[in-house]
Structure 1
Amino acid sequence: MNEPAPLIFLKLGGSLITDKHGTSTPRPEVLRRLAQEIAAARQVCPHLRLVLGHGSGSFGHVPAKRHHTRQGVSTPEQWLGFAEVWREARALNDIVVQELCAAGLPVIAFPPSAAILARGAKVSDWDHRPLQAALDHHLLPLVQGDVAFDHALGGTILSTEDVFEHLTLLLRPQRILLAGIEAGVWEDFPACTRLIPTITPAAFPALSSHLGGSAAVDVTGGMEQKVTSMLALIQRQPGLQVLIFSGEHPGNLQSALCGQNPGTLLLGD
Structure 2
Amino acid sequence: MSIVVVKLGGAAITDKSVPDTLSHNIDALIDSVAHAYHRILRPSGRRLILIHGAGSFGHPPAKKYQVKAGWTTALDEAGGDDAEQARDNVKFGMALTRQRVLQLHTHVIQRLHERECMPVLSVSTYDTVETDNGAVIEGSSVRLMTRVQQVLEAGFVPLLFGDAVFDRALGSTILSGDALMYHLAERLPAVQRCVFVTDVAGIFTQDPKRFPDATLIKMIHCSEVGDSSAIDKDDSAASVDDVTGAMRSKWQWAKRIVTDAEQVRAVAICQVSDSSKAIGYEFSDASTTSHESGNWTAIVR
User: Rg bigger for which structure?
Assistant: 2
2:194 aligned residue (160, 176, 179): 176
| DSSP-derived class of the 1:196 partner | coil
The amino acid of 1:89's aligned partner reads V
User: C-alpha distance in 2, partners of 1:138/1:71?
Assistant: 38
CA contact (8 A) 1:73 1:82 kept: no
What residue number does 1:208 align with? 231
What residue number does 2:29 align with? 34
5 Å-filtered alignment, 1:15-164, equals: 15-27=11-23, 30-45=25-40, 46=43, 47-74=45-72, 75-103=87-115, 104-124=117-137, 125-126=140-141, 127=143, 128-164=145-181
Give me the CA root mean square deviation: 1.6
CA contact (8 A) 2:267 2:299 kept: yes
> Does 2:178 match 1:186?
no
Aligned length: 260
What residue number does 1:245 align with? 270
User: C-alpha distance in 2, partners of 1:141/1:43?
Assistant: 15
User: C-alpha distance in 1, partners of 2:174/2:18?
Assistant: 20
| DSSP-derived class of the 2:256 partner | helix
List structure 1 runs of 4+ shifted beyond 6 angstroms. none
Give unpaired runs (5+ residues) of structure 2.
73-86, 282-292
CA shift at 1:228, angstroms?
1.4
What residue number does 1:167 align with? 184
The amino acid of 1:236's aligned partner reads D
Residues 236 and 196 (structure 1), Cα distance of their counterparts in 2 relative to 1, 3 Å cut: same
What residue number does 1:229 align with? 253
Percent of aligned pairs with the same amino acid: 28
User: C-alpha distance in 2, partners of 1:162/1:93?
Assistant: 18
Q: What TM-score, normalized by structure 1, do the two folds share?
A: 0.91
User: C-alpha distance in 2, partners of 1:100/1:223?
Assistant: 26
Q: What TM-score, normalized by structure 2, do the two folds share?
A: 0.82
Deviation by residue 1:187-208 (Cα, 9 ceiling, x = unmatched): 1224152111112223333332
| DSSP-derived class of the 1:174 partner | strand
User: C-alpha distance in 1, partners of 2:160/2:243?
Assistant: 18
Give unpaired runs (5+ residues) of structure 1.
none
What residue number does 1:256 align with? 278
| DSSP-derived class of the 1:185 partner | coil
CA contact (8 A) 1:184 1:264 kept: yes
| DSSP-derived class of the 1:186 partner | coil
| DSSP-derived class of the 2:20 partner | coil
CA contact (8 A) 1:122 1:162 kept: no
User: C-alpha distance in 1, partners of 2:62/2:119?
Assistant: 30
User: C-alpha distance in 1, partners of 2:245/2:200?
Assistant: 15
CA contact (8 A) 1:63 1:85 kept: yes
User: C-alpha distance in 2, partners of 1:264/1:186?
Assistant: 9
| DSSP-derived class of the 2:169 partner | coil
CA shift at 1:209, angstroms?
5.7
CA contact (8 A) 1:117 1:150 kept: yes
| DSSP-derived class of the 2:17 partner | coil
CA shift at 1:239, angstroms?
4.3
What residue number does 2:83 align with? none
User: C-alpha distance in 1, partners of 2:129/2:135?
Assistant: 10
User: C-alpha distance in 2, partners of 1:39/1:48?
Assistant: 14
CA contact (8 A) 1:118 1:150 kept: yes
CA contact (8 A) 1:123 1:162 kept: no
